[in-house]
Amino acid sequence: MQDKLMLMIPGPTPVAESTLLALAKAPIGHRTKEFSAIFADVVTKLKWLHQTTNDVLILSASGTGAMEAGIINFLSKGDRVLVGDNGKFGERWAEVCEAYGLQTERIRAEWGQPLDPEAFRAALEADTAKTIAAVIVTHSETSAGVLNDLATINRSVKAHGRALMMVDAVTSLGATNVPVDEWGLDVVASGSQKAYAIPPGLGFVAVSAKAWEAYKTADLPRYYLDLGKYREDAAKDTTPFTPAVNLIVALQAALAQMQQEGLDNIFARHRRQRNATRAAMKALGLGLLAADTHASDAITAVVPPAGLDAEQIRKALQQKFDIAMAGGQDHLKGKIFRMGHLGFVCDRDVLTAIAALEATLQSLGWTFPAGAGVTAAIGHLNA
Amino acid sequence: MQDKLMLMIPGPTPVAESTLLALAKAPIGHRTKEFSAIFADVVTKLKWLHQTTNDVLILSASGTGAMEAGIINFLSKGDRVLVGDNGKFGERWAEVCEAYGLQTERIRAEWGQPLDPEAFRAALEADTAKTIAAVIVTHSETSAGVLNDLATINRSVKAHGRALMMVDAVTSLGATNVPVDEWGLDVVASGSQKAYAIPPGLGFVAVSAKAWEAYKTADLPRYYLDLGKYREDAAKDTTPFTPAVNLIVALQAALAQMQQEGLDNIFARHRRQRNATRAAMKALGLGLLAADTHASDAITAVVPPAGLDAEQIRKALQQKFDIAMAGGQDHLKGKIFRMGHLGFVCDRDVLTAIAALEATLQSLGWTFPAGAGVTAAIGHLNA
């Protein structure tokens, strides 16, 4: 049905009507007091969301652009970096590092498995010469629905002393607790089309004082992604290059809505919806790629058992119920589907998606106790 | 007055209501057939606007990001480049080149003066060893309202044979004729908040086959700005990184409106409004930074004579008439103001701006023949 799309993918996520209307306001000049006031307010709200007093910089770029900026501004050619790789995004950051001539060591796990904090501890402890300049970890690995144990890995990084902790928080920030200052995270990157609940086009990078120290001698080439320029101009409530004005106005509206809900409520909502989704999938006899102990709060990767086809399920959900879920990526293409529960998603949405999934599975001939998925979800949503 | 702003700056430019409503549509998934169909249509329309069969790639970035991509994808460390520098943007591209370790030679002119095509010819002819890898020219220099003689400079580049012709067309494309294929321009960069008449956030790069040849051996590091990735995915009607979905939907609407007007009409409109603006400024006794022979079609830089203050004029226009004009940049700050006539601007807008300027000048005690500005503008608008 026209305009009835329900987005249950890991991004773009649903956008509130008030945010869409803010987006549609006629643009104003970006070199004006009026825009600077909006910009300053947005930065204050971003710091609230990041639980930090560090700089939080706004780029007109996707999350990948933000994460690349977070890496290349604080490192020099030949620097040694440890990159956690247990999915498409971990893999991507290793590729970024290699593109810039960094000495890149991957710490790998299978897609669906979490990164092993012990492997990071061992590598960091063995580095008595302090040659490791950075550790790069994807907090919530979107491709597999895995939440890596950032807190534990980060403790080893802190014990190491030199290495910067760089975090892809693209699908964790605003969904899962990421206390940037409390944990002392040096670089934290995220993107607008995730928990922020605005359309894609903005990337964010939080940068610690320690990272800015490294910036002084970092020698990788950059210009548009040079965060020093953004920092300098942010101090004057402006940006070095024309910002995506309308997206920033929309962001102000979306962040105000998040502040109204409150951080703890936001985290609790994502956790509750994650648990409801997972319980429902199990009750329907579907497999889950990630174990309960390290499941993403933003997205659930579902493994249909033999006899069920992931793409067929997605297609039917889309055609009959106008619900979009994501497919698998790379070697998991066709083998899993992924349900997002991220951003502007209320409990009703999860209930709706599970009910529609039940109807879809039934139409595909899959058998399960009638109402099992919805009942299991309700158990968590009403808890 | 609330929401009565009239943007007469060189960007963001005014956006049509239909485009704003397209922007405000709830986002759809970017990995869908529906989005790919929109994307493919947008690319086709972009090729029309560029008068090219070359690839035209879409980045979520400002015009600077697009231009940086256009430079760094086709060059290698130590490559020799000639950069035209007669304003803020020419200066910027030289800085980009230096940031990446290119051997950067500036061909300079004062802000307000055009680049001398003869200087390019001489440098290129002297380069019998063919060491010049690229010539970088800002077509319409926004900071000074100067239209550089790209056609003539380009002929020297063609005669040289090796060098790539890289063009910042940010405020010329869609305002002034830039026949990419006819002239054989290798790299042409632009940004969404200019003649495209959509809000900022998208950058565009047209790339020739000759530039793609150079890409094969170009060794400057890049990832988010790696145009090869964009080309590869564009062939499948998609993008390597999450695109700014809503801006692309808005772009489709804006480009459709441009196609309805037609390229020749668009160019004629910008030329007519430029001429009307310049004639009015002269009739009001104001100076013009650029001479008639090389005046930008997008923006007019005005030099108030002694006794008039540029910032005071801007402030009064804003406060009394809700019209935003731009100030001078860098050393021209406070010395000029700049009136944009770019993108979704009709003749009525120019007439309005000139009438309001007359009222403003009068209130500041400046004397001129009553109605002189409006009369001079009408002379061109009615021609």
For the segment A188-212, what is each residue's pLDDT rounded down to a tens digit? 999 999 999 999 999 999 999 999 9
User: B 144-183 residues with CB below 8 A of A?
Assistant: none
Q: Are residues A68 and A97 in the same domain?
A: yes
Domain limit, last residue, from B260, B295, B320: B260
Using a CB-CB distance cutoff of 8 angstroms, which residues of chain B are in contact with residue A96? Answer: 223
Q: Are residues B25 and B170 in the same domain?
A: yes
For the segment B242-285, what is each residue's pLDDT rounded down to a tens digit? 999 999 999 999 999 999 999 999 999 999 999 999 999 999 99
DSSP string, A305-319: PTT--HHHHHHHHHH
Cα(A342)–Cα(A9) distance, integer angstroms: 8
Token couple for A328: 């698998």
Q: In angstroms, what separates the C-alpha of A217 from chain B's closest C-alpha?
A: 14
Cα(A334)–Cα(B271) distance, integer angstroms: 54
Alpha carbon distances (Å) from A135 to B33, B250, B310: 37, 39, 52
Q: Are residues B271 and B242 in the same domain?
A: no
What are the beta bridge partners of residue B206? B56, B188
CB contact under 8 A, A193 and B15: no
Residues 6+ apart with CB under 8 A from B323: B6, B8, B317, B352, B353, B356
Q: Are residues B173 and B47 in the same domain?
A: yes
Disruptive mutation site among B15, B21, B62 for chain A (greatest number of A CBs within 10 Å)? B62
Question: pLDDT at position A245, please?
Answer: 98
Q: Are residues B360 and B294 in the same domain?
A: yes
CB contact under 8 A, A243 and B21: no
Give the range of the structural domain holding residue B123, as residue numbers without chain letter: 17-260
Q: Give the DSSP H/E element, type plus range, for residue B86.
A: none
B361 domain residue, yes or no:
yes
Does A25 reach chain B within 8 Å, measured CB to CB? yes
CB contact under 8 A, B220 and A221: yes
Nearest alpha carbon to residue A106 among A122, A90, A118 = A90
Q: Are residues B309 and B226 in the same domain?
A: no
Cα(A334)–Cα(A351) distance, integer angstroms: 25
Q: In angstroms, what separates the C-alpha of A184 from chain B's closest C-alpha?
A: 27
Cα(A224)–Cα(B65) distance, integer angstroms: 5
CB contact under 8 A, A241 and B9: no
Token couple for A353: 């998606």
Q: In angstroms, what separates the C-alpha of A32 from chain B's closest C-alpha?
A: 9
For the segment A124-143, what is each residue's pLDDT rounded down to a tens digit? 999 999 999 999 999 999 99
List phi, psi (to 5°) of B12. Answer: -60, 145
Burial A243-270, CB ≥16 within 10 A → b, else e? bbbbbbbbbbbbbeebeeeeeeebbebb
Q: Are residues B333 and B269 in the same domain?
A: yes
Cα(B300)–Cα(B284) distance, integer angstroms: 14
Beta strands across the sheet bearing A55-60? A55-60, A202-207, A187-191, A164-168, A132-138, A80-85, A103-108
Q: Outline where DSSP puts E strands in chain A.
A: 6-7, 55-60, 80-85, 103-108, 132-138, 140-141, 146-147, 164-168, 187-191, 202-207, 287-288, 299-303, 323-324, 326-327, 337-340
Does B9 reach chain A within 8 Å, measured CB to CB? yes
* Contact present, A231 and A207 (Cβ < 8 Å): yes
User: In a 3-state reduction of DSSP, which class is residue B326?
Assistant: strand
For the segment A32-75, what is each residue's pLDDT rounded down to a tens digit? 999 999 999 999 999 999 999 999 999 999 999 999 999 999 99
Cα(A87)–Cα(A14) distance, integer angstroms: 24
Compare CB distances from B223 to A60, A99, A327 and report the shortest one's residue.
A99
Compare CB distances from A24 to B24, B95, B245 and report the shortest one's residue.
B24
Compare CB distances from B29 to A12, A61, A224 and report the shortest one's residue.
A12
Cα(A205)–Cα(A373) distance, integer angstroms: 38
User: A 312-351 residues with CB below 8 A of B?
Assistant: 324, 326-327
B224 domain residue, yes or no:
yes
Alpha carbon distances (Å) from B148 to A6, A95, A114, B85: 49, 40, 56, 10
Compare CB distances from A223 to B95, B191, B241 and report the shortest one's residue.
B95
Query: Per-residue confidence at A4, pLDDT binned at 50, 70, 90?
Result: very high
Q: Are residues A40 and A105 in the same domain?
A: yes
Return the percent helix, strand and coil in chain B, to nearest 5: 45, 15, 40
Nearest CA in chain A to B77: A221
* Contact present, A21 and A342 (Cβ < 8 Å): no
Disruptive mutation site among B3, B224, B229 for chain A (greatest number of A CBs within 10 Å)? B224
Q: In angstroms, what separates the C-alpha of A125 from chain B's closest C-alpha?
A: 31
B336: amino acid identity, one letter: I
Burial B114-147, CB ≥16 within 10 A → b, else e? bbbbebbbebbeebeeeebbbbbbbbbbbbbbbb
CB contact under 8 A, A326 and B31: yes
Does B18 reach chain A within 8 Å, measured CB to CB? no
Does A370 reach chain B within 8 Å, measured CB to CB? no
Question: pLDDT at position B196, please?
Answer: 98
A94 domain residue, yes or no:
yes
Does B194 reach chain A within 8 Å, measured CB to CB? no
B214 domain residue, yes or no:
yes
Query: Which residue in this structure is represented by tokens 């607008």?
Result: A192
Compare CB distances from B224 to A15, A31, A68 and report the shortest one's residue.
A68
Q: In angstroms, what separates the C-alpha of B207 from chain A's closest C-alpha?
A: 19
User: B 223-262 residues with CB below 8 A of A?
Assistant: 223-226, 241-247
**What is the tally of helices (H) and strands (E) in chain A?**
14, 15
Does B304 reach chain A within 8 Å, measured CB to CB? no
Alpha carbon distances (Å) from A235 to A71, A91, A231, A232: 22, 34, 6, 6
Question: pLDDT at position B129, please?
Answer: 98
Compare CB distances from A244 to B25, B201, B222 and report the shortest one's residue.
B201
Q: Are residues B183 and B323 in the same domain?
A: no
Cα(A12)–Cα(A142) distance, integer angstroms: 13
CB contact under 8 A, B62 and A242: yes
Q: Are residues B88 and B228 in the same domain?
A: yes
Domain limit, last residue, from B229, B260, B291: B260
Nearest alpha carbon to residue A299 among A95, A92, A138 = A138
Compare CB distances from B99 to A31, A222, A244 and report the shortest one's residue.
A222
Does B201 reach chain A within 8 Å, measured CB to CB? yes
Nearest alpha carbon to residue A190 among A165, A167, A208 = A167
Domain limit, last residue, from A226, A241, A260: A260
Please tell me the total count of domains within chain A: 2
**For chain B, what is the radius of gyration of the CA atoms?**
21
> The domain that contains B65 carries what CATH number?
3.40.640.10
Residues 6+ apart with CB under 8 A from A367: none
Q: Are residues A91 and A231 in the same domain?
A: yes
Does A3 reach chain B within 8 Å, measured CB to CB? yes
Beta strands across the sheet bearing B337-340? B287-288, B299-303, B337-340, B326-327
Q: Are residues B69 and B110 in the same domain?
A: yes
A1 domain residue, yes or no:
no
User: In a 3-state reduction of DSSP, which class is residue A5?
Assistant: coil
Using a CB-CB distance cutoff of 8 angstroms, which residues of chain B are in contact with residue A327? Answer: 31
- CA angle at B17 for the pair B16 and B18, rounded to the nearest 5°: 90
B1 domain residue, yes or no:
no
pLDDT in tens, chain B (383 residues): 999 999 999 999 999 999 999 999 999 999 999 999 999 999 999 999 999 999 999 999 999 999 999 999 999 999 999 999 999 999 999 999 999 999 999 999 999 999 999 999 999 999 999 999 999 999 999 999 999 999 999 999 999 999 999 999 999 999 999 999 999 999 999 999 999 999 999 999 999 999 999 999 999 999 999 999 999 999 999 999 999 999 999 999 999 999 999 999 999 999 999 999 999 999 999 999 999 999 999 999 999 999 999 999 999 999 999 999 999 999 999 999 999 999 999 999 999 999 999 999 999 999 999 999 999 999 999 98
In chain B, the N- to C-terminal Cα span, in Å, equals: 34
Nearest CA in chain B to A99: B221
User: In a 3-state reduction of DSSP, which class is residue B136?
Assistant: strand
Compare CB distances from A201 to B26, B95, B247 and report the shortest one's residue.
B247
> The domain that contains A339 carries what CATH number?
3.90.1150.10
Q: In angstroms, what separates the C-alpha of A12 from chain B's closest C-alpha?
A: 6
Does A104 reach chain B within 8 Å, measured CB to CB? no
Nearest CA in chain A to B12: A29
User: In a 3-state reduction of DSSP, which class is residue B54?
Assistant: coil
* Contact present, B352 and B6 (Cβ < 8 Å): yes
Disruptive mutation site among A62, A91, A95 for chain B (greatest number of B CBs within 10 Å)? A62
Nearest CA in chain B to A223: B96
Question: Strands B6-7 and B55-60, how do they pair?
Answer: unpaired
User: B 46-65 residues with CB below 8 A of A?
Assistant: 60-65
For the segment B49-100, what is each residue's pLDDT rounded down to a tens digit? 999 999 999 999 999 999 999 999 999 999 999 999 999 999 999 999 999 9
